[in-house]
Every structure is written in C-alpha cells, then in structure tokens.
Amino acid sequence: MKNKVVFVINYFYPDVASTGQLLTELCLNLQNDFDITVIAAQPGYAGEESSSKKIIEEDFLENIKVLRIRLPKVNKKSKISRIKYIFSYFFLANFALLKEKKIDVVYTISQPPVLGGLIGTIGKFFKNTKHIYNIQDFNPEQAAAVNYTNKKFIFETARKIDNLNCSYSDCVILVGNDMKETLKRRFNNKNVPENVVINNWTDEKEIIPLDKENDNVKEFLNKHNLTDKFVVMYSGNIGLFYDLENIIKVSLHFKNHKNIVFVFIGEGAVKEEMENFVLSNSIQNVYFLPYQPKDYIKYSLNAADVHLVVNQKGIKGVSVPSKIYGVMAAGKPILGVLEQGSEAYSLIHKSNCGVTIEPQDYNELIKKIEELSMLEEEKLISIGMNGREYLDKFLKQEISIDKYRETINLVIKS
C-alpha cells in the first residue's frame, strides 16, 4: 500500500506557468512511489478559458488524480481581481483537501502568497497529517520589494502567518541557498524550521542545444523576421517582480541598431505597459510573442543569441528565476540582471555561462548588450555551452527529483 501525498499546487498540467510545469514533472516522476492526488486550479495562467461548469472537477493524468477548481478569471493588473481569485482558490482548495481521506502528507507551495502555506497548516491539523511546505517565493518579502502596497501592517501580518506555516510544517523545501539565509533571518537563527534546499530544474533531455540551422529554429527565426539578427530574448512571466517595465526602456538606445532585436515571450501584468512604450516610441526592433507550446520551447529558446535572466532589486534570497535552467539547458549565454550573491547570480559565475549586472543599472545593461553583440559567434557558443556542461554535472532533473523522493519519505517516517 503506497503512502498518499496530496499536492495543493494551484498550477498544474496543462498550465504553462513554470511552477505548474515543474510540479507536473515532479508528480509524474513520483507517481510510482506514492499515491498522488493533485488539487489545482483549472488551466488559465495564459488567459485560457475553461469549458467546465463544475466547481471541482475530477480528472486524471496517468495514475495521478487531479481535482481541478473552477475560479473567477483574473485580471493580473487589478489588485481586486487578484484578491478575488486568490481567496476563491484558498477556500475551494481547503474544501477539496478536507474531503480527501487517509492522507499521509500534504504538500503545498508558496502560491498564492502565504495562503498556499496556510492550506497546508490547516490540512495538517484537521487531517492529522504531515505537511511539506515548498517555498518558491518568500512573501511578503517579494511584494515588499516592488512596493505592492504601502500598508506595512499587511506585510507584518502576512510574515507572522507565514512564519507559523514554516514552524508548523514538517519540512520547508527551498529552491536556492540564498533563500536558506532568508529563512534563518526570519527566525533570528533560533528554532529555524527543518529545511532542505532542492534546486528547480528543466527537462534537460527535452531542451538541448540546437544550431540556428536546425529546421524548427530556422522556421521560428524566419516567421518572426529574426534571421541574421542578434537576438536578445526574455522568455517567461512578464510580471511585477522583474523590473521589465524599466528594462524595456534600454531598447530606445538600440532603436536604430537594425542588427540587434529584443524578443519578449510570455504574458504578465506589465506586458501592456511595455508594448505601449515600444509603440509610443516607434521602436521597430522589439517583438512581443505569446507563450510558446511546451514542445516548441526548445526551438524558441535556441533562437536567441543571449537570454535575459532578471529579478527586481530586493529579490535576493526571496525568489530564484527558474527560467535560468532552461537557458542553461539550451546552451545559451546569459545576461543576468541580478543581485550579487543571489542563487541565479552564483550559478552564472560558477558555470561561467554569462555576465551579470546589478538591477536598475540600465547604462551597464546597454554596455553589456553592446559588448555581447560584438563577440564572435564561436565565443558566444562557448560561453553558452559552459552552462549546459554545468547543468549536466550538478543540476539534472533526476538529481532534484531524487531529493524530493528522499525528503517525502523522511517526512513520512519521522
């Protein structure tokens, strides 16, 4: 009889959110070890419409039971819409969880902020089970970094609740070594909850380095008028925590550089603002594309000459941009806009797969783009392949999944 693990994870296949893809891969790889149930929202991260009218619909992905919650459509630019979505998810996810029987472990993530962990705390006490709390992003620290609200009491209350979530969990899983330091600071290095660092990953067998002469890569380049251009790409969430609304302004400097183009792939709260800046300044060499299908991402990633991996100032120790693993897998150079000592910053320098600058240093960003665009193609390929070689040694998917398997088993036995 396998132990039952209930994953309450908001995003899950076929959602395109990075955490959804990660947790889908995790559950698929663990389905033979545990009896897995997933509680997740209906797909809608990239604006998809759900056809289901049921509040909670039961589905299956291979051997995994999936309980999909129908939620109100969210406008990511509206705080009221976000709050309505988050609290609807919170109450319905709790309802679905409390209906489940004979649970050995509740696994939750830090999404929605704070409330994701609180679902696990509630589940632990009402279902008399163990709780694993996976912190992908520390909140309210992340929201504070972008001044999401000026009401400090909200941040203070949220931090107290999330500290309780950490304290009552049987293990906190962090995705970066810098985040371990944040957890210690939260508890003043006293009675720090049991924790482990497990890196996120990409499927390195699926995303591999491909030459621009590859038929599918060439097709992508031709389709979007990128052939024979130096392509600076950002692929991922175009949201609030990356300073992209200001980074886009460096494109004005390159307005007349016809050989340099910027490609932003994804959706998010600041995308419209970025598009408006480009339109109002008549910038012709910036392109915005929607999320690419999962089986096509390996081609779009390989269409770039350099990838932007960015975080807002104040995010060090709070979040790790998981897009870095896909870029390293594709063997592409990275231009990191990252705080010194952050997890992604450290990965770039340990692997020698790119260059970094501090967030909000836009003049230095312009300088680095110019320098990278002047490098020989062979040099760029060499820099990018350093990242792939490092990933193959230390950051393979199976390494992280084995750590998850071991952690879950240890929590069950504790």
- Beta carbons of 255 and 279 less than 8 angstroms apart: no
Model pLDDT, residue 79: 74
d(CA 168, CA 170): 7
Residues paired with 40 in a beta bridge: 10, 68
- Here the contacts of 211-220 (C-beta below 8 Å, separation 24 or greater) are 211/302, 212/302, 212/303, 214/299, 214/302, 216/296, 216/299, 217/299, 217/302, 217/303, 219/299, 220/296, 220/299, 220/300, 220/303
- Which residues have a Cβ under 8 Å from the Cβ of 171 and sit 6 or more positions away? 132, 133, 193, 194, 195, 196, 407, 410, 411
pLDDT tens track for 213-268: 999 999 999 999 999 999 999 999 998 889 999 999 999 999 999 899 999 999 99
The pair of three-digit structure tokens given for residue 120, joined into one six-digit string: 């696990």
Residue 46 in this model has a pLDDT that exceeds 50: no
In percent, how much of the chain has pLDDT > 70?
97
From 136, 112, 128, select the one nearest 168 (Cα to Cα).
128
Q: Output the 3-class SS for 203-257.
A: CCCCCCCCCCCCHHHHHHHHHCCCCCCEEEEEECCCCCCCCHHHHHHHHHCCCCC
Mean pLDDT over all residues of the chain?
94
Over the stretch 89-103, which tens digit does the pLDDT of each residue have?
A: 999 999 999 999 999
Q: Is 44's pLDDT higher than 70?
A: no
Residue whose structure tokens are 């089970």 = 129
pLDDT category at 162 given cuts 50, 70, 90 is: very high
Of 16, 239, 103, 190, the closest CA to residue 119 belongs to 103
Query: Within 10 A of 113 (CB to CB), how many other CB atoms are there?
Result: 18
**Max Cα distance, the chain (Å):** 66
In DSSP notation, 163-213 reads HHHHHHSSEEEESSHHHHHHHHHHTTTSSPPPEEE------TTTS----TT
Query: Across 44-53, 71-80, 122-131, which has the greatest mean pLDDT?
Result: 122-131
The token pair that represents 367 in the structure block: 């300088």
- Secondary structure of residue 160 in the 3-state scheme: helix
pLDDT grade for 47, boundaries at 50, 70 and 90: very low
Cis amide bond preceding 293, omega within 30 = no
Distances (CA, A) of 96 to 23, 33, 68, 290: 19, 23, 9, 32
Contacts by residues 142-145 (CB-CB < 8 Å, ≥ 24 positions apart): 142/113, 142/241, 142/315, 142/318, 142/319, 143/113, 144/314, 145/241, 145/312, 145/313, 145/314, 145/315, 145/318
- Sequence-distant (6+) residues with CB within 8 A of 190 are none
- Dig out the tokens for 370 from the structure: 């110019």
Q: How far is CA 309 from the centre of its chain?
A: 11
Beta carbons within 8 Å of 376's beta carbon, 6+ residues apart: none
Q: How far from the centroid of its chain's Cα atoms is residue 146's Cα?
A: 17
In order of their start, the domains of the chain are 4-201+396-413 (3.40.50.2000), 215-394 (3.40.50.2000)
Q: What is the Cα–Cα distance from 23 to 28, expressed in whole angstroms?
A: 8
Contact 270, 298 (CB under 8 A): no
Would the pLDDT of 305 be above 80? yes
Residue 321 · residue 328 · CB < 8 Å: no
pTM for this predicted structure:
0.92
* pLDDT above 80 for 128: yes
